[in-house]
Amino acid sequence: MLATDISLQMFSLATNRAIAEHLEGIIDFKEGDAATIDLPELSFYSALSRLGLMFLGDLDSGLVNINISLVNGGRFATSVWATSEKVPQLALAMNIVRKELNISSPPPLRTPRPFCLADENILKSLLSDVNSKS
């Protein structure tokens, strides 16, 4: 099993927790971004991304990298933030920051941010494109 994260703090917490739970040798840890991390091809039966895809700078490369690491028939599951209306606590904080920084226009499409993959049709299209390229 391989666990990855770009955050050194999260990486450290996960490593310490695995040690505390006596999981050394069961879980390997690798720091890195899904788009650039060196993943072995055709090695995993499943991959999981929990609240990470929407923050990838190069989403296409990240999805391709994940996809090529899966064995034939392997599965990929992901969770992303829903629309701002469904996550008001995060939307409120972001709106306050935007107001304080005097940012009136939304960021360009495909800019990494919490709600950029909230539209399930966009996410389905991205995943479908990756599968058709492999």
pLDDT of residue 88: 92
pLDDT of residue 131: 78
Tell me, letter by letter, the H, E, C secondary structure of 1-70.
Answer: CEEEECCHHHHHHHHHHHHHCCCECCEEEEECCCCCCCCCCCCEEEEEEECCHHHCCCHHHHHHHHHHHE
pLDDT of residue 110: 77
pLDDT band for 46, please (50, 70, 90 cuts): very high
Instruction: List C-alpha distances in Å: 42 to 35, 48, 71, 128.
Output: 16, 15, 4, 19
- The pLDDT tens digits for 47-105 are 999 999 999 999 999 999 999 999 999 999 999 999 989 999 999 998 999 999 999 88
pLDDT of residue 134: 62
- The pLDDT tens digits for 15-25 are 899 999 999 88
- For the segment 4-14, the average pLDDT, to the nearest whole number, is 89
Q: pTM for this one?
A: 0.84
